[in-house]
Amino acid sequence: MNIKPNTRNARPVDDKRSHHVRPQDLPWEKMRFPGCQTKTLLFDPKSGLATVLIKMEPGAALPDHEHVLIEQTYVLEGSLVDKEGPDAGLEVGPGEFVWRPAGSRHEAWCPKGGTMIAMFQVPNKFFEKDGKVTDAGGKDWQSAWGHVLSD
């Protein structure tokens, strides 16, 4: 996902206070993937831990990517479909939950559009057509996040 924290309210994850987030007050932020937007609810820039609301227009897709650690998604409306990968055709609808193990790889697609909440332990690896491996923001994945797995 394109994780862009609202840095105005950012605090370290180890801050012991409660962190009340009002998603309705946050703007939708466009991702680099057409038709995809996010609202970041939690983001730890040190570890990559993130919880995001994701909205995808009908026909929008998240291209070939790998879930480096466990990813969890709860669909609020619409549906999320595995377009490519070992579970091609799997459709997760409103009120349904899917989690994907570390190392799972697929292309996610919203043929009818959808809104979901997704939780990541570390950002996904996206496999570009030129062979580069990036995060959702387009940064080199190893440079940005490789330290998380080696710590």
Which pLDDT tens digit goes with each residue over 27-64? Answer: 999 999 999 999 999 999 888 999 999 999 999 999 99
The pLDDT value recorded for residue 13 is 64
Of the candidates 6, 60, 72, 69, which has an alpha carbon nearest to the alpha carbon of residue 31? 60
Q: What's the whole-model pTM score?
A: 0.85
Question: Confidence band (pLDDT; 50, 70, 90) for 16?
Answer: confident
Which pLDDT tens digit goes with each residue over 84-98? Answer: 767 778 899 999 999
Is residue 111 within 8 Å of residue 58, measured between CB atoms? yes
Which pLDDT tens digit goes with each residue over 123-141? Answer: 999 999 999 999 999 999 9
Is residue 116 within 8 Å of residue 76, measured between CB atoms? yes
Residues in CB range of 16: below 8 A, 6 or more apart? none
Residues in CB range of 87: below 8 A, 6 or more apart? 106
Q: What domains does the chain contain, in order, with CATH numbers?
A: 21-129 (2.60.120.10)
Sheet containing strand 114-120, edge to edge, reads 29-30, 36-43, 50-56, 114-120, 71-78, 97-100
Is residue 23 within 8 Å of residue 39, measured between CB atoms? yes
